[in-house]
Amino acid sequence: MKIQLSDHFDYRKLLRFTLPSIVMMIFTSIYGVVDGFFVSNFVGKTPFAAVNFIMPFLMILGAVGFMFGTGGSALIAFTVGTGDRERADRLFSLFVYVSGVLGILIAVFGIVFIRPIASLLGAEGAMLDQCVSYGRIVLLALPAFMLQFEFQSYFATAEKPQLGLAVTIAAGVTNMVLDALFVAVFRWGLTGAAAATALSQAVGGIIPLLYFARPNSSILRLTKTRFDGKALLKACTNGSSELMSNVSMSLVSMLYNVQLIRYAGEDGVAAYGVLMYVNLVFLAAFIGYSVGCAPVIGYHFGAADHVELRNLRKKSLTIIACFSVAMLCLAELLAQPLSMIFVGYDPSLFALTRQGFRIYSFSFLFAGIAVFGSSFFTALGNGLVSALISFLRTLVFQVTAVLVFPLIWGIDGIWMSIVAAELMAAVVTILFMIGKRAKYHY
């Protein structure tokens, strides 16, 4: 049975509707994980460190698509909730076209300035050259990567989350197969890993574009549109929290790399890379649930259905709490085997990674609350609160902790800083939810 945005959602229906978005985000996160596995095991430790060193910069550039996806889908879902389907199509088309043009411009900027930026961040010698060669190839697919981020949100809004899942799986499988072929079989090294990632991102961005450009069975379609500065501004401000979250996470990752080079050298950057791969996959479950749930929240907010809003908030927090406990337990169990898979060839690097893993995993106990809370307020059209939660979580709390904690606890303080930051962000999110109950009647 097809699930519609206007339905009443129990736990089973809510999980069924959001599951494709969860899996979509996890598969998207696996791109980097697969690259890391093949580069680490078939190319070497320095190229592996180079990929992890330049990846935050690439993610900053791609985050604009996430902004249009989350901010735009909330506005589109609200418009559908008011019954104006024609305007919803115009808005959808406008956001896709604008983000596509921006993707081309941002890609050109990245290709031109990637070397001085990587050098400024501290890369030098062979690692600098490898950062540049990997980054420039991946940037060729940046417009498609931005669209892929965007369509992950729009598929749920279009009531086609299963189709979005199928596209993401196709892109993920493309990445895995090409990584194995280019890196392990053809031995193209870092260039092969970058090409595999770029081609898989092209699959994830172009297929949805072709689907929505033709007559389809979803509630959205790409059509002729007209410029609407007010709607664009609303989408950008509403999605600014997700943009800020992604940009801040990338900036903080750069700071972590700087601190790790100071305290543990190249091994520290490599160990952090392994933790980031696991972090991306685990956080993807929270992000995917929030992305999948946001159009439902936006629809019922637009329809002024306060009873269903209360129902969605209560059930979502319960689901997030269950996810959080499960992820902590899973991360503790997987600390040793995952460290072995990525860096088992180097005993000292393996020990460093395993120790960091066991401390870092406690962050998953708190991270989901702030991730959902930010998305929740985005869906309600309150971009300011959403952005503030993201800003505090991903920038203020983490920067403060990663600068202070290592002075007290050394390298372990770097791993502990993320746990402290996520705990503080969870507290702030809960306070905002309590404070805004009367305004939104949830």
Tokens of 41: 């095991």
DSSP code string of 57-89:
HHHHHHHHHHHHHHHHHHHHHHHHHTT-HHHHH
pLDDT reported for residue 232 = 92
What's the longest Cα–Cα distance across the chain? 61
The predicted structure's pLDDT at residue 64: 85
% the chain with pLDDT above 70: 99
CB 91 within 8 A of CB 76: yes
User: What is d(CA 22, CA 288) in angstroms, rounded to the nearest whole number?
Assistant: 4
Q: What is the average per-residue pLDDT within 345-361? A: 91
Per DSSP, 363 falls in state: G
pLDDT band at 169 (very low <50, low <70, confident <90, very high): confident
Q: What is the pLDDT of residue 346?
A: 85
| Spatial separation of the C-alpha atoms in residues 96 and 144, rounded to whole Å | 11
Give the amino acid at 277: Y
Q: Tokens for 128?
A: 């600098």
Cα separation, 334 vs 434, whole angstroms: 35
Q: Confidence class of residue 20 from pLDDT cuts 50, 70 and 90?
A: confident
pLDDT mean over 345-358: 90
Q: Is the confidence at residue 331, as pLDDT, over 90?
A: yes
pLDDT of residue 32: 63
Mean pLDDT, to the nearest integer, of 323-352? 90
- 12 — pLDDT class (breaks 50, 70, 90): very high
Per-residue pLDDT at 70: 81
Task: For residue range 54-85, list pLDDT tens digits in order.
Answer: 888 898 888 888 788 888 888 998 899 888 99
**Are 118 and 134 in contact, with CB atoms under 8 Å apart?**
no
Give the side-chain half-sphere CA count within 13 A for 19. 9
In this prediction, residue 141 carries a pLDDT of 96
| Residues 139 and 61: beta-carbon distance below 8 Å | yes
Q: What is the pLDDT of residue 31?
A: 65
Percent of the chain with pLDDT over 90: 54
Please name which of 3, 2, 96, 37 lies closest in space to residue 278, comparing C-alpha atoms. 37
pLDDT for 241 beyond 70: no
Q: How confident is the model over 380-408, as pLDDT tens digits?
A: 988 889 889 988 998 899 999 999 999 99
Range with the lowest mean pLDDT among 244-248, 295-299, 425-429?
A: 244-248
- Report yes or no: 138 and 194 within 8 Å, Cβ to Cβ: yes
Residues in contact with 348: Cβ distance below 8 Å, sequence separation at least 6, in sequence order: 267
**Residue 29: is its pLDDT beyond 90?**
no
In whole angstroms, what separates CA 17 from the centre of its chain?
19
Lowest mean pLDDT among 99-103, 109-113, 271-275: 271-275
Name the residue ranges covered by the structural domains of the chain. Answer: 11-440
Strands (E), 240-327: none
CA neighbours within 13 Å on the CB side: how many for 386?
29
Q: pLDDT confidence of 100, banded at 50, 70, 90? A: very high
Burial of 162 (0-12, 13-18, 19+ CB in 10 A): middle
pLDDT, tens digit (0-9, with 9 covering 90-100), for 258-316:
888 788 877 887 888 888 888 888 898 999 999 889 889 989 998 889 999 999 999 99
Helix/strand/coil percentages in the chain, nearest 5: 90, 0, 10
For residue 228, pLDDT beyond 70: yes
Q: Is the pLDDT of residue 1 over 70?
A: no
For 132-160, the pLDDT digits (tens) are: 999 999 999 999 999 998 998 899 889 89
Q: What is the mean pLDDT of the chain?
A: 90
pLDDT, tens digit, 9 for 90 and up, residues 250-269: 888 888 888 887 888 778 87
- State the pLDDT at residue 286: 95
Q: Are 42 and 184 in contact (CB under 8 A)?
A: yes
Closest CA to 236 of 88, 98, 432: 98
Q: How far is CA 190 from CA 47, 63, 184, 217, in A?
A: 7, 23, 11, 41
* C-alpha–C-alpha distance, residues 40 and 302, integer Å: 48
SS3 94: helix
In terms of pLDDT, which residue wins out, 29 or 199?
199
Tokens found for residue 319 = 């689901």
CA 118 to each of CA 52, 71, 304: distance values in angstroms, whole numbers, following the listed order: 12, 30, 49
CB distance 331 to 357 below 8 Å:
yes
**Pure H helices in 344-382:** 347-360, 364-379
Residue with tokens 């790399």: 257
